[in-house]
Amino acid sequence: MVLRTAVRSLREREFVEAARALGASRRHIVFRELLPNVWAPVLVHLTLAVPAMVTTEAALSFLGVGINEPIPDWGRMISRGADVFYDDPTYMVFPGASLLVFVLAFNLLGDAVRDALDPHTLR
Q: What is the pLDDT of residues 49-70, one digit of tens each?
A: 899 999 999 999 999 887 888 8
Task: Look at residue 56 in the predicted model and tell me its pLDDT.
Answer: 93
- pTM for the model: 0.72
The string of DSSP letters for the chain reads: -HHHHHHHHHTTSHHHHHHHHTT--HHHIIIIIIHHHHHHHHHHHHHHHHHHHHHHHHHHHHHT-SS-TTS--HHHHHHHHHHTTTT-THHHHHHHHHHHHHHHHHHHHHHHHHHHH-TTS--
